[in-house]
Amino acid sequence: MSKQPHKNLLDIIKEKKEDFEWYPTTNEIIQALYISIYDEEKKNRFTDFPSVSMLDIGAGDGNVFREMDHLYKNTQDKKDGLKVTSAYAIEKSNTLIQAMDPDVFVIGTDFWNQTLVDKKVDIVFSNPPYSSYSQWSEKVIKESLSKFIYLVIPERWEEDKRITHALDQRDADAEVVGSFSFEDSEYRKARAKVHLLKISLASKVRHRSSTCNIDPFNLWFKETYAFKDEAPKEESIQDKAETLNNLVPGKSLVERLEELYNQELLHLHANYQSIATLDADLLREMGISKKMMIEGLKLKIENTKNVYWQELFNNLDTITSRLTKKSRESLLGTLTEHTSVDFSVSNAYGIIIWVIKNANKYYDAQLLKLYEDLSKVENIRNYKSNKRIISDDWRFLKEGYSHYALDYRIVLTFYGLIDTEYAYQAVNGLGNAAADFIDDIKTVANNLGFSITSSVSDSSMQWVSQHKNNFMQKTTHGKIPLKVGTKTNLGKIEDVVYQDENGCYQYFVGGYWTHWDSIKTEDDIFVEIKTFKNGNLHAKFNTQFMKKLNIEAARLNKWIKTPQEASDEFDISTEEANEYFGSSYTLTPSSVSNLLPSLV
């Protein structure tokens, strides 16, 4: 059995007034759900490894996905298991959203303000609030764009006119998978007797193509817009060209975007409502048909959502600036795939929480990836406790080799490092692969507290054989004074004075008073890089950076568990170990408070 929700979670949501009748689905119901979906997938998709995308409406803390994943992982032969490859949720409670696993993508918060007609998944599941199960189920049935719906609803559902009418409108078949009770629930007991109801939205011959008998968007369109007749001709669709330079007043970026978005949708709906009141003859003369309006409205809504979500994503630089190139492309790619979600402050909050959870996973993963890329035989040394011998004839580290540290002097090899044949393959003369790798190092270093001011493309950089290029880090010499006698790039410091009018220190070097930001010491060098014609790149890193990188990689790899172990293995002081252990940047909701100050 999978891990149960935290025993205090229910108390927490009650205290925060976020208990919207949350009765977590029992493991018995989830197991029946799992088996039913598996049987349908094996029967209709003819695949050896059944998998589905799934939306849970009113998902709570995501326990349905958690238990289904547990059932899949405990299947000996994966051919006999069902994997949920894409997990989506709609949940109103911010506390429960934050309790979900990071791989659950929240596509909405307020169910009643969501449209489901454009949320294409294989399975829609919902265990709705008992007090509003009728209206809730009606909306799910009428709007879901899926092959199957599974509802956990009271046994009296067959007598409910809303539900039976919705089933008729969708030409859907309903089948009771099983009868259950919440009296012995593992999470929250109730006297409710319920059915797990399976609703088939596609005829059997269509299951493989995931085509619904009745398109939910068409149904929604017909109910929303009343036409007197149809017009057969097609309508050309103009691409949306909306700029967001002149935002309306609001408390935050998202609130301003939401206001613009709602105004645009209201205007769009008003236009279509106006067209719908015209006589059929006039519509025919204009070449407008109901079919064309359905497709046109669908496309305009999709484009409108996409524009506003993209504008939000473009303002996530607080998060994306700390991602390496591949991590950034992966995260933004995932977000871009889900721009069909309705744009609202609450939905933006749910998505940003998802971003925060996954961004921290990316931050850790990219640090470990960099560490692995730097881990060549010639660049490492064993822990004190690691007595294994690295053979001289090893060209690469053996797979699974562990408990080692990187030296602060690193040698790497790149194809087309310098003197590349094509200019477009280089940045300032340095090959693209090496330039990207250096940028990734700077990104990881930034997450460890180092602010590097130099760039590969700086005019001072000369990427030629055996030339030394120094990447400098931001200094604090204006606020924290250097000592007299310290060696600098301009000579030894002869005197130091604090200027009250400027609020910073000035230095007397080589017979001149010099502003602090012109003074550089050896400790200000983040990394010294030399390149060679044979493709070798020699890097000499700041020792503090390498200590932090070694300790954080060891912590994430679980090679060490405490600062004291770090002190013992790396031969550093206890003070340094305590400072460096767990020093990698962690994103929190407060990091994006400029986007949603009223919620985070």
Whether 125 and 263 map to the same domain: the answer is: no
Whether 228 and 116 map to the same domain: the answer is no
Q: Name the domain boundary from 197, 214, 231.
A: 214
Give strand pairing partners of 529: 469, 539
412 with 326, same domain: the answer is no
Please check whether residues 307 and 383 belong to one and the same domain. Answer: no
Average pLDDT, whole number, for the chain? 84
Same-domain status, 202 and 240 = no
pLDDT value, residue 46: 56
pLDDT at 492: 92
For the whole prediction, is pTM greater than 0.75?
no
Q: Is 226 contained in some domain?
A: yes
Going by their DSSP bridges, the two strands 83-90 and 51-57 should be labelled as parallel
For 153, phi then psi, to 5°, come to -135, 160
- Judged on CB neighbours under 10 Å (0-12, 13-18, 19+), 497 is exposed
Give 91-132 as a 3 state SS string: CCCHHHHHHCCCCEEEEECCHHHCCCCCCECCEEEECCCHHH
CA–CA separation, 260 vs 324, rounded Å? Answer: 33
SS (H, E, C) 516-578: HHHCCCHHHEEEEEEECCCCEEEEEECHHHHHHHHHHHHHHCCCCCCHHHHHHHHCCCHHHHH
Of the candidates 365, 397, 432, which is a domain's last residue? 365
User: Which of these, 404, 441, 370, lies nearest to 554 by C-alpha position?
Assistant: 404
Give Cα 109 distance to the centre of its chain: 17
Q: Rounded to an integer, what distance in angstroms lies between the CA atom of residue 262 and that of residue 264?
A: 5
Residues 245 and 180 in one domain: no
Q: Is 398 helix (H, G, I), strand (E, B) or coil?
A: coil
Contact 137, 162 (CB under 8 A): yes
pLDDT at site 2 = 44
Q: Give domain status of residue 592, yes or no.
A: no
pLDDT tens-place values along the chain, 600 residues long: 444 455 578 889 888 898 888 889 999 999 999 999 998 888 776 566 788 999 999 999 999 999 999 999 988 777 778 999 999 999 999 999 999 998 999 988 899 988 888 888 999 999 999 889 999 999 999 999 899 999 999 999 999 999 999 999 888 999 999 999 988 888 888 888 999 999 998 765 444 445 677 778 787 777 776 655 544 343 322 233 234 434 444 567 777 788 888 888 898 888 888 887 888 888 777 777 778 888 888 888 888 888 888 888 887 888 888 999 888 888 888 888 777 778 888 888 888 888 888 889 999 999 999 999 999 988 988 888 877 665 555 555 667 788 999 999 999 999 888 876 665 577 888 999 999 999 999 999 999 999 999 988 888 898 999 999 999 998 888 788 889 999 988 899 999 998 767 778 889 998 888 888 888 888 899 999 999 999 999 999 999 999 999 999 999 999 999 999 999 998 889 999 999 999 999 888 777 766 654 544
421 and 329 share a domain? no
Residue finishing a domain among 214, 249, 267: 214
Q: Find out whether 114 and 342 touch, Cβ atoms under 8 Å.
A: yes
Residue 227 pLDDT: 57
Task: For residues 566 and 554, give the distance between their C-alpha atoms in angstroms, rounded to a whole number.
Answer: 8
Return the CATH number at 196.
Answer: 3.40.50.150
237 and 198 both lie in a single domain: no
Q: Please give the backbone phi and psi of residue 108, each rounded to the nearest 5 degrees, phi first.
A: 180, 160
Strand 512-515 and strand 525-531: the pairing is: unpaired
- 541 burial level (CB within 10 Å; 0-12, 13-18, 19+): buried
Per the CB < 8 A criterion, the answer to whether 493 and 507 are in contact is yes
* Residue 131 structural domain: 9-214
Residue 166 within a domain: yes
Looking at the structure, do residues 62 and 202 belong to the same domain, yes or no?
yes
Angstrom distance (rounded) from CA 152 to CA 75: 25
- Specify if 179 maps to a domain: yes
Q: Give me the residue label for tokens 């307020």.
A: 110
Q: Are residues 437 and 536 in the same domain?
A: yes
Which single residue is written with the structure tokens 């609030």?
A: 129
Give the containing element (helix H, strand E) for 273. Answer: helix 253-276
Residue 596 lies in a domain: no
Q: Rounded CA gap, 544 and 580, in Å?
A: 9
Whether residue 70 is contained in a domain is answered as yes
Nearest to 89 by CA among 119, 52, 57: 57
Within a domain: residue 4?
A: no
Asked if residue 583 lies in contact with residue 449, where contact means CB atoms within 8 angstroms, the answer is: yes
In this structure, are 309 and 396 located in the same domain? Answer: no
- For residues 293 and 435, state if they share a domain: no
For the chain, what is the domain count? Answer: 3
* Residue in 454, 452, 489 with CA at minimum distance from that of residue 474: 452
